[in-house]
A = this chain, B = another copy of it.
């Protein structure tokens, strides 16, 4: 896991909320993650990441949940029912765009086999996706039922692997190789865990410095925007209700801008937030500020983790996405002048 042992993300990002025990979404009690990487090392770079709330295995059929659609250019399966009923009935599966529908079908397969679901005749599978078509032959829909079942079955409460793994295998973000990232932050007495699938455009910006991959200029289609997106899963053990989870989900999308997201037309930016807590009277909204800050910081950290852990990958048509290195981050701040696109007219003072 330690590709960059010398990067202290918490300090680098000037975060104020303490990280959780493993700085991962699995710090939220009962939340597990499983992944399947689907790749041939050449034309196929795809996979599945599943966030599995163990609470759904037991006596509860659903958890409080909500969605925020930051930019709806994406295919989040299950969104309308979550918005209406405010609950999550299944694990959340992330995968590749064109494979999302068979992944949802596989999630139904998995659910129907679960104890307690012998008579179930309706389910709302939740599947998010980003487009790995730049690095992977997405039209072949390489993610099949067995890959989804494996990810669901191998979920554990350990800190998940990050970077070019599972649904992150074929991702690019902010000019670099993207992928799966996770982090957690304490918000008052509770913890907020985030897992992201990063595939969005923009210019990576750390402490005001724009960081671009060294060889970007060599690839003519480097900036191709089609299908880029960001899926954000937010989990908490705070007993917030669905409306409040919607407010948290908004902040997760807002946090993308802190590292340089440009929120382009083609980017399907979604956040799904759920609570693992037993239902009770919801806390007063003014107390949510601690959870909001934790959500923002955990999202920002998870995004940066996804980049730091993703190795340089060469895929379809010989295209290469470059992994972000500690050296990139450590480059002299002296080079951090404003970029050279002067405005047509300067402000007069």
Which residues on A are within 8 Å of B, measured CB to CB?
1-23, 69-81, 83-86, 97-98, 101-102, 104-105, 107-108, 112, 120-125, 131, 133, 138-139, 141, 186, 205-210, 225-227, 241-243, 247, 250-251, 253-258, 262-266, 268, 270, 279-282, 285-286, 288-289, 292-293, 296, 305, 333, 336, 338-339, 341-349
Contacts and interface: CB of A to CB of B under 8 A. Distances in A.
B254 A263 contact: yes
Given A83-B69, A84-B73, A342 B241 contact: no
A139 B125 contact: no
A125 B112 contact: no
Copies in the assembly, this chain: 4
Contacts of A207: 207-209, 336
Determine which residue in A72, A131, A292, A293 has the highest number of CB atoms from chain B within 10 A of its CB, and name it.
A72
A203 B162 CA distance: 30
A66 B282 CA distance: 16
A19 B343 contact: yes
B77 A77 contact: yes
Contacts of A280: 281
A251 B262 CA distance: 9
A282 B305 CA distance: 38
A121 B225 CA distance: 12
A247 B84 contact: yes
Contacts of A225: 289
A141 B310 CA distance: 38
B5 A349 contact: yes
B102 A98 contact: no
B251 A254 contact: no
